[in-house]
Amino acid sequence: MSKNKTNTSQALAERAAQVQRGGARAAVLGVNDGLVSTLCIVVGVAATGASNGAVLVAGLAGLLAGAISMAAGEWISVKAQVELFEGVLSDLKHAVKQDRATLVANLAKNFEDHGIDAKTAAHAAKDVAEKDKQFISMYSSQVVGVNEDELGSPWNAAISSFVLFTLGALVPLIPWLLNLHGLVSIVVAIALTGFAGLFVGAYTAKSSGKSVAYGAVRQLVIIVFAAAVTYGIGHLFGVATS
């Protein structure tokens, strides 16, 4: 096998592992939510005519609350996923002791479904089943669809979500951190967030094998729409209370 093919296989395996461990989801959701939710907060508050200080405080409060909420949510989600997978693996280990012959037959059938002839599949399944550890590992990944080495890390998901949400949330805050004023700050915030959103959308689309241009534009449209809605609501609220 050539080096390029090996690298491609490793890259695909790592992408699949990231998805199962929850890392890819935490990364995408973290930075995307940081961008969109914080932009909505600062644009909505700024549209009411609030001072730069009030907008910045609201944005930073949203950043902190959102980052903590995202981290906690990812920890709970991945922890629950890991525990569910562990339950499946525990039941599988019990089944290996109670009904080994049926599992060997199931594994052989799985090999046949992947194009191996019946005799070779039966022989291979029997060989794999000679050692419990390798049998459980092979059966769980091939038949059940669970890789016991890639169940996920709740802490990795929580930390990456917290960090990436924070990084995403800082982008729409830049105009107020630079002490820009009025409509200029709102326009700059939307432009910066939209620009960052293009990269997030493109990266997500590329990772999933979709059109990069479509993914980028879709993300931009979502950001602009969200900003327009919150600006309109904020402006109406500001007029009503003035």
Q: What is the pLDDT along the chain (242 residues), one digit of tens a residue?
A: 445 544 543 443 454 444 455 455 666 778 889 999 999 999 999 999 899 999 999 999 999 999 999 899 989 988 888 888 888 888 888 888 888 888 888 888 888 888 888 889 888 888 888 888 888 888 888 888 777 767 778 888 888 889 999 999 999 999 999 999 889 999 999 999 999 999 888 888 887 778 889 989 999 999 999 999 999 998 888 765 55
Q: How many domains are there within the chain?
A: 1
3-class DSSP state of 152: coil
Give domain status of residue 57, yes or no.
Answer: yes
Residue type, 14: E
Amino acid at 158: A
Residue 102 lies in a domain: yes
> Residue 53 domain-assigned?
yes
Output the six-digit token pair for 177.
């951190």
The answer to the question of residue 12 being in a domain is no
- Check: CB of residue 166 under 8 Å from CB of residue 187: no
Residue 62 lies in a domain: yes
| C-beta separation of 242 from 49 below 8 A | yes
Q: Is 11 domain-assigned?
A: no
Contact (Cβ atoms closer than 8 angstroms) between residue 195 and residue 81: no
- Residue 3 within a domain: no
Tokens 């490793």 -> residue: 10
Range of 178's domain?
32-241
Please report whether residue 7 resides in a domain: no
Paired tokens of 235: 């402006």
